[in-house]
Every structure is written in structure tokens, then in C-alpha cells.
Amino acid sequence: MKRQTTIRTLAHLALAVAVSLTCAEVGFADVIVTFPSASSTVIDSGGGSFDFCCFWDQSRGDSISQTYSGTALAAISGLDLSFTVDQNFLTSGNEVDWAVLVNGTQVGAFVWTAADGTGVENLAFAFAPIGGAGTYTLAIDVTNTVPIGGGSIGIAKVGSATLVGAVPEPASVMLLLSALGVLVLSRWRDARITFDNLWRLKWS
């Protein structure tokens, strides 16, 4: 009876794993956070009251960053950003280049030019899974220095970021389920052998 209970428990575990992986595949793990936000760490010219302004200097370390804990995501493999450039003082031919980072790893880049004016920027990045055990630091860093008199840009204090949970690779899923299947089969064979031995002893 104890072995049968163990087998049933393992079978239920295999089913639970399969169901949880299926749920992950349909995107239930994505987490949306506010980025940028009024709580972000910002290096800029310090001239904005209702926005972060202004950005133009890599050597100064112009950037926006913020750490998010308790996301319950073991790893992420995608990041979607949406924010507003609400001021653009760039003169013709100038631009501000940016790197996008997750936990210190660059996952993408974007450029804002004089011709882009102002408006909402929507970006989506996909990358190899980055583990964070539920904690992720997002950052956008300026990677160039606009010449003196070339202008700068300002970014609104409220935007959004979607952390896309990493889905286990099919090969990893099959390996896990196969291992559970072998374990269940092994337990079943042990129980069968024990039963057969008892049957022989009874009639010998």
C-alpha cells in the first residue's frame, strides 16, 4: 500500500509539472512594472520638474535605473518598454544613443534623433534567459555625448516595462518528464517484484 501511494504521488507530481509548464507557455508569468518612475535612480542635468531632463552626456553617466524585487520570476527572456520623450532640444543631425540593460547585461539599444521630435516610444527585446531569482534591475544608459550646443532630450517620469518570463526549453521539459517517468516505472517494478516474491513464498 505504501509503494502504491508513492507511485500515485510521483504520477501526480509529473502531471503537476506538465500543467505548470503549459501555463508558463501561454504567458501567465509576465510581470508589468512602472519604469521609469518617480522612484527611479536618475543621472541627468537636473532641470526637469515633471520629467527627467536632460540627457545628452555619456561621460557624466546619464541614465535611468530601478530595481524590482518580488516578481516571482526565476528568469526572464524578454523586456518590453513604453515611455514618453516629452522634450527634444536636439539640433539637426544630433542624436542620443541608449543601451538597455537587465541586471547589468545589455539586451538592446535604441536611438532618439532631432527628427524624432517628441512622443511615445515602444520597444520590445528578446534575449537569452537572464536569471534573477525574482529580482531585476532595469536600466537605460546614454552611450554617446552630444556636442556642446547640440541639444538634449527629456523623458517623462512615468512609463511601463513588461518582464517576460522565460519558458523552459522543450528539450529540458522532455528530460524532466522522462526522468519522472523512469522513476515512476522503477517504483512500479519494485512493487511488482515484491508482490511476486510474496506470492512465490506463499505457494512454495
Write out the chain's pLDDT in tens, 204 residues: 544 545 555 555 555 545 454 444 434 479 999 999 999 999 999 977 789 999 999 999 999 999 999 999 999 999 999 999 999 999 999 999 999 999 999 999 999 999 999 999 999 999 999 999 999 999 999 999 999 999 999 999 999 999 999 986 554 445 544 545 545 455 545 555 555 555 455 555
Q: Which domains does the chain have, with CATH numbers?
A: 28-165 (2.60.120.260)
Distances (CA, A) of 84 to 81, 101, 159, 176: 10, 18, 7, 44
Q: What stretches of 103-193 adopt beta strand conformation (E)?
A: 105-113, 119-131, 136-142, 153-156, 160-165
Q: How many CB atoms lie within 10 A of CB 138?
A: 22
Q: Return the amino acid letter for 77.
A: S
Q: What is the CA radius of gyration of the chain?
A: 27
- pLDDT for 193 equals 54
Cell of 20: 505548470
Q: What is the pTM of this model?
A: 0.73
Judged by DSSP in three states, 197 sits in helix
